[in-house]
Amino acid sequence: MLKFVEHRIGDRRIVRLIQKWLKAGVLEDGVVTTSDKGTGQGSVISPLLANVYLHYVFDLWIEVWRQKVASGEVVVVRYADDLVVGFQHRNDAERFLAEFKERLASFALELHPDKTRLIEFGRFAQVNRQRRGEGKAATFTFLGFTHYCATNSKGYFVVGRTTQPKRMQATLRKIKAVLRERMGVREGDIVNLSLETAQSHFFDPETGQRLEPFLSEAHELRSPTNAVLKHIE
């Protein structure tokens, strides 16, 4: 980690500050936990350092792999430590997955077994599965959205997106908890901020209609009368 940081930062004072961050640990519920491996979970510097680390471990490596190893097109989308890689040919996908695991192992890292899948997805996925007598194409979750194979009004393939139900319900529970804590205060201002955040993050042409029930229920929670009733319940 520090070698990668030093490669990008020449100021030794900043490097020493980062070293202190790595050794400081994380305070949670009055208990300080430290680790001599990686960055502290929940530490403010962790996302930035993880991004620097993955730039060398993954970004630069996949760029070379795409040019020299892949036989077809490769599309890469990475946000922090979440990533999706699309391949034109299945054999490229299988080879990438095997070599990527080896690459991560050389840096003492590994893929999350429950979040790593090789699926058939794209404009030919559903047709190929129907030809083989299989069900619908698989979906995948990325950055709070479930992505699935769909078609537009003209019958052309599009990537459909829908918000994760668990995320939406979790947000409603948070709004409800805040309203209970602030009985008698102007709840509208609190909820409006949450709604603006939800709309800016979740809204797009594909998910706009699905967001309406969430906005409707959140607006209902905003009512002082309803807030009191919810509190009594």
Alpha helices, H only, 25-141: 46-54, 60-68, 90-105, 125-131
Q: Given this model, what pLDDT does residue 228 score?
A: 37
pTM over 0.85, yes/no: no
The C-alpha atoms of residue 47 and residue 40 are separated, in whole angstroms, by: 10
The C-alpha atoms of residue 178 and residue 172 are separated, in whole angstroms, by: 10
Stretch 122-146: mean pLDDT: 85
Stretch 168-187: mean pLDDT: 68
Stretch 3-13: mean pLDDT: 78
Q: Given this model, what pLDDT does residue 72 score?
A: 92
Stretch 172-192: mean pLDDT: 63
Residue 171's pLDDT band, with cuts at 50, 70 and 90, is confident
The 3-state DSSP composition of the chain as helix, strand, coil percent (nearest 5) reads 55, 15, 30
User: Token match 């209970």: residue?
Assistant: 180
Stretch 201-207: mean pLDDT: 55
- Highest-pLDDT range among 35-49, 70-84, 125-139, 165-179: 70-84
Closest listed residue to residue 232, CA positions, set 177, 180, 174, 175? 180
**Is residue 84 within 8 Å of residue 93, measured between CB atoms?**
no
